[in-house]
């Protein structure tokens, strides 16, 4: 479980008090085309209906600098589909996270990609890749973080719960990459969400067809045998 995970970090002296520093990750004053918000007041009813992207920063204590975590998340299940830990904010890093997400998606039909208006997401290479899959592009229209609330919340969860709260810090980029590979695996496969009726994001993503019509109560009291039956039906 999570406590054992952090016990390992503590034994390896990776749990230390993190220095509080901030940096900017969104640069929206640029000449690239900005797209309208397509998901405003939309009811998301299935996985792969909307994927959301965002960037957050990670403090590297060894060099007193920052790394950047690029995330692409399924809005319905909260599963992180793609990610990249990078030492820069260039659009290629965002593209790597997007390519991973596209590889991990079970279906790419009728998908909307939602993000802020940062230069990485408006760049020609990024929008060209989305359009090549027929994915519609949606962006926040204001500077209000609520327009990309789930992506912001998952960033906060990964940083607050798995790093700041547990006093995890990174000495260098390599260490941040290794740790976040494990953190995201744990988040997707081990951490239940109240909004998912205490399912993990990976399980909710897989059970999409079963859960979508009775999302709040459908999965409440299934036995292990019934769970296997459901999964065999989906597979």
What CATH number is given to the structural domain containing 7?
A: 3.30.420.10
pLDDT digit string (tens) for 60-109? 988 888 999 999 999 999 999 999 999 999 999 999 999 999 999 999 99
Query: Could you tell me the pTM of the whole model?
Result: 0.75
Quick check: 223 pLDDT over 60? no
Higher pLDDT, 140 or 197: 140
Confidence of residue 235 (pLDDT cuts 50, 70, 90): very low
Choose the most confident range, by mean pLDDT, from 99-108, 171-180, 216-225: 99-108
**Residue 53 shares a structural domain with residue 163:** yes
**Residue 7 shares a structural domain with residue 97:** yes
**Residue 148 shares a structural domain with residue 229:** no
**Residue 61 shares a structural domain with residue 33:** yes
Q: Give the torsion sign (CA, 194, 230, 211, 151).
A: positive
**Residue 19 shares a structural domain with residue 111:** yes
pLDDT digit string (tens) for 208-220? 755 543 333 233 3
Confidence of residue 227 (pLDDT cuts 50, 70, 90): very low
Instruction: Tell me how far apart the alpha carbons of residues 222 and 226 are, in angstroms, rounded to a whole number.
Output: 6
**Residue 16 shares a structural domain with residue 102:** yes
**Residue 94 shares a structural domain with residue 106:** yes
**Contact in structure between 172 and 70 (CB atoms under 8 Å):** no
Question: Residue 164 carries which DSSP code?
Answer: I
Strand segments (E) across 64-164: 65-74, 80-86, 112-115, 136-139
Structurally, the chain folds into a number of domains equal to 2
**Residue 166 shares a structural domain with residue 233:** no
Confidence of residue 49 (pLDDT cuts 50, 70, 90): very high
Q: Which long-range contacts (CB under 8 A, 24 or more apart) does 159-168 make?
A: 159/56, 159/58, 162/186, 162/187, 163/18, 163/58, 164/18, 166/6, 166/9, 166/15, 167/15, 167/16, 167/17, 167/18, 168/6, 168/9, 168/14, 168/15, 168/16, 168/18
**Residue 170 shares a structural domain with residue 206:** no
**Residue 169 shares a structural domain with residue 206:** no
**Residue 159 shares a structural domain with residue 205:** no
Provide the phi-psi class of 48: left if phi over 0, else alpha when psi is between -120 and 50, else beta.
left
**Residue 170 shares a structural domain with residue 218:** no
Domain extent at residue 179: 2-191
Query: How long a stretch of residues is the chain?
Result: 235
């Amino acid at each position: 479980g999570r406590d054992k995970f952090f016990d390992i970090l503590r034994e390896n002296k990776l749990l230390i008090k993190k220095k509080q520093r901030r940096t900017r990750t969104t640069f929206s004053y640029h000449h690239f085309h900005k797209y309208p918000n397509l998901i405003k007041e939309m009811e998301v009813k299935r996985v792969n209906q909307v994927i959301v992207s965002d960037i957050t920063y990670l403090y590297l204590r060894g060099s007193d600098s920052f790394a950047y975590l690029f995330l692409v998340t399924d809005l319905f299940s909260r599963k992180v589909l793609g990610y990249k830990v990078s030492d820069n904010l260039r659009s290629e890093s965002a593209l790597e996270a997007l390519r991973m997400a596209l590889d991990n998606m079970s279906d790419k039909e009728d998908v909307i990609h939602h993000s802020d208006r940062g230069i990485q997401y408006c760049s020609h290479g990024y929008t060209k890749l989305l359009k090549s899959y027929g994915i519609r592009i949606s962006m926040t229209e204001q500077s209000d973080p609520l327009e990309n609330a789930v992506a912001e919340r998952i960033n906060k969860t990964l940083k607050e719960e798995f790093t700041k709260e547990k006093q995890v810090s990174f000495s260098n980029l390599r260490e941040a990459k290794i740790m976040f590979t494990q953190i995201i695996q744990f988040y997707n496969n081990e951490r239940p969400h109240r909004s998912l009726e205490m399912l993990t994001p990976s399980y909710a993503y897989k059970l999409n067809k079963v859960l979508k019509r009775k999302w709040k109560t459908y999965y409440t009291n299934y036995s292990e045998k019934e769970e296997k039956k459901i999964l065999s039906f989906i597979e």
